[in-house]
Amino acid sequence: MSAPTLEARNLVKDFHLRSGFTTSTLHAVKDVSFTIEAGKTIALVGESGSGKSTIARMLMKLETPTSGQILLDGQETGTSGRAVEGYRSQVQMVFQDPFASLNPYHTIFHHLERPIRLHHPRLSRTEVRERALELLERVRLSPAESFAERRPHELSGGQRQRVAIARALAPGARFIVADEPVSMLDVSIRLGVLNLLADLQREDDLGVLYITHDLATARHFSDEIMVLYKGDVVERGPADEVILNPQHEYTKTLLGAAPEPENLGRLRDEVRAELAGL
């Protein structure tokens, strides 16, 4: 058996757009390849519209690639319902919007119970409950019993994102695709959520694709950075190298430009403060 890896091989996604009588093709993702290893984080950075979410959606099998493959532990992964279900027990996603990703009618326990049961059908009711409470403790939603009975509207954005992380871990996932997981959260709580993800990653030896347009956290939380520009990876390498010695003009522009000036500066300061305390 080969090493635990999640590999995107030559992924391409074209969207065919129709407007009146004319059609055009948008090349959203052009031949992108990378391999995420267990215990490692790759950051995928790029401005809005560069194709980041399309790559995430293909990795989650929510979108069918125009061409290319997704391999898990070196094996090609299928597209049948059963294959996808098995695949998703290994590869899970944390979405950008913590308000849209949880069902307002269901308790937090219900959100965790379903993936736990689906992938561990032999657990008893008590064991499922224990597992759900353990997961809530792991994402530091404590007391777990109280959070389990709440509904999403009773939680803050940061707490919801912690539930989303717990839900991603529920089926025993080994790889997490996190698509701008903190960009919709208040700046003051972003680092807490990212630090939590980093802790869980270490504990479970998870492989993570961290999608962001924020280079400061990409550097701090990732081993490797890939820079995406109009569907192409224009630069990639060890995180420090890409940030300290960018080769591509676009990376230099990204480093020079602050997409959210007030936030980015503050987050950078927080990361620095955090680093100084390490």
Distance CA 102, CA 168 (A): 12
Any contact of residue 236 with ligand ADP (CB under 6 A)? Answer: no
Between helix 125-138 and helix 157-169 the angle, nearest 10°, is 130
Least distance in Å: CB of 18 to Mg ion?
Answer: 23
7 sits in which H/E element: strand 5-19
> Is 49 a binder of ligand ADP (CB under 6 A)?
yes
- Residue 115, C-beta contacts closer than 8 angstroms, at least 6 positions apart: 89, 167, 170, 171
Applying CB under 6 A, the span of 47-55, 68-76, 202-210, 251-259 interacting with ligand ADP comes to: 47-55
41 binds Mg ion (CB under 5 A): no
Q: Give the residue at shortest CB distance from Mg ion.
A: 53
* Nearest distance in Å: CB 132, Mg ion: 29
Tokens 């409950």 correspond to what residue? Answer: 129
# binding residues, ligand ADP (CB under 6 A): 11
Amino acid at position 79, single letter: T
When binding is defined by CB under 6 A, the residue of 26, 189, 255, 258 that contacts ligand ADP is: 26
DSSP per residue, 201-251: HHHHT-EEEEEES-HHHHHHH-SEEEEEETTEEEEEEEHHHHHHS--SHHH
Q: How far apart are the first and last CA of the chain?
A: 37
52 binds ligand ADP (CB under 6 A): yes
Which tokens is 222 given? 């990732």
Among 28, 32, 41, 53, binds Mg ion (CB under 5 A): 53
Task: Tell me which residues in 173-212 interact with ligand ADP (CB under 6 A).
Answer: none
Angle (nearest 5°) at CA 240 between 215 and 6: 80
- In this chain, which of 36, 43, 54, 98 binds ligand ADP, going by CB under 6 A? 54
Report the partner that residue 26 touches, choosing among ligand ADP, Mg ion, none (CB closer than 5 to 8 A by kind): ligand ADP
DSSP string over 63-129 = S--SEEEEEETTEE---SHHHHHHHHHHEEEE-S-TTTSS-TTS-HHHHHHHHHHHH-TT--HHHHH
Asked if 234 interacts with ligand ADP (CB under 6 A), we say no
The CB-of-259 to Mg ion minimum distance in angstroms stands at 13
Of 49-57, 67-75, 115-123, 160-168: span binding Mg ion (CB under 5 A):
49-57
> Considering CB distances under 5 to 8 angstroms, the limit depending on partner class, which of Mg ion, ligand ADP, none binds residue 152?
none
Distance CA 71, CA 73 (A): 6
Task: Closer to Mg ion by CB, 61 or 138: give it.
Answer: 61
78 binds ligand ADP (CB under 6 A): no
54 binds Mg ion (CB under 5 A): no
Rounded to a whole number of angstroms, the minimum distance from the CB of residue 228 to ligand ADP is 7
Give me the residues that bind ligand ADP (CB under 6 A), please: 15, 26, 28, 46, 48-54
Binding residues for Mg ion, rule: CB under 5 A, are: 52-53
